[in-house]
Amino acid sequence: MFASRFQTVVRQLGGTRYAVTLALAALLAGGGIALAQDRSGSSPEDDASADVERRANLTGPEQLAEAERIETRANQISRRVQQMLDEARRERDILRVTCLNDKLTQINANARTTSTRGDALREAVQMNDDARRDHEFTVLTVLGQKFRTLEQEANQCVGQDIFETGTTRVETSIDPATPDEDTSAVLSYPEVPVPFIPPPASVSM
């Protein structure tokens, strides 16, 4: 609407060639502004939807290739988290084991779904069922995003070390005025200065 009014104004100015040029420039400028506004105001969820919609426009073979990439990626993430879990078990880090185990369970469940959906996609492509193909591919794309989220969460699993304070160090300060005594030195009894021995003359008794 804004562009047609602009063209009307230009015609009224009598310059057709100039009018077309200005109109194109205005459209480009307006579109650029609109695109910039969209991008700056979009959420990750919006991006994901746009991504899914964009990928849904792929051809069947392209969707199959993308599906295989998602499946491969799912298997890689599963193996990697499994290794992290094994390491946590070796370190007997129970908190990290629990967290990674939960993530791995979700990853494996989603991987099985991915495999099933991949089979369904291949079947739809073979049957040239575009509607079903697009649906299965959309599900696979969402699953791919789910894998990224689970991978990030697995990386964020924290261990005991975050709760541990490390080697305890105790610093003791004693008032300098405290008596400086060897407390382990037990008070001893005094020696008898002079032994009690009767005069030797009494030996004659």
Partner 1 sequence: MRLSNVRVLAGLAAAITSLTVVQSVTAQDWLADRKRSEGAGIRVGDFELHPGVGVEVGYDSNVFFSDGSATSAVPVASPILRVTPHLSFSTLSATREAEGEAREGAGAGAPTVQFRGGISASYYAFFADEARNNVGLDGDLNLVILPDRPFSITLHERFTRVVRPFTEQRSIGGSDRRLDFGRNENDAGVDFSFGTPGRVLAGTAGYSLAVGFFDGEDFQFANSVTHNFRAGASFRFLPQTALVYDFEGQYRVYPSFAPGTSPTLLSNGFNLRTRVGINGAITTRLSLSAMVGYGAGWFDARDDFDSVVGQAELRWQATSNFRLSLGYDRNFRPSYVGNFMRADRAYASAQLLLAGSFMLGAEASLSLLDFGVPVLGSDVRTALGSNPDGSVSRSDVRLSGSIFAEYRFTNWLGVNATLRYTGDYTDYRYIITDAAGTVLDPAGYSKFEGWLGVRAFY
Q: Where do contacts with partner 1 occur on this chain (CB under 8 A)?
A: 172, 174-175, 177-181, 183-205
Q: How far is the CB of 173 from partner 1 (least distance, A)?
A: 10
- Choice between 166 and 193, CB closer to partner 1: 193
- Choice between 14 and 176, CB closer to partner 1: 176
- Choice between 4 and 178, CB closer to partner 1: 178
The CA dihedral of 35, 39, 45, 48, to the nearest 10 degrees, is 70
Cα–Cα distance between 88 and 98 in angstroms, integer? 9
Q: How far is the CB of 166 from partner 1 (least distance, A)?
A: 19
Cα–Cα distance between 108 and 78 in angstroms, integer? 7
Q: How far is the CB of 203 from partner 1 (least distance, A)?
A: 4
- Choice between 1 and 177, CB closer to partner 1: 177
- Amino acid at site 63: Q
Q: How far is the CB of 164 from partner 1 (least distance, A)?
A: 23
Cα–Cα distance between 180 and 171 in angstroms, integer? 19
Q: Is 73 left (phi over 0), alpha (psi -120 to 50) or beta?
A: alpha
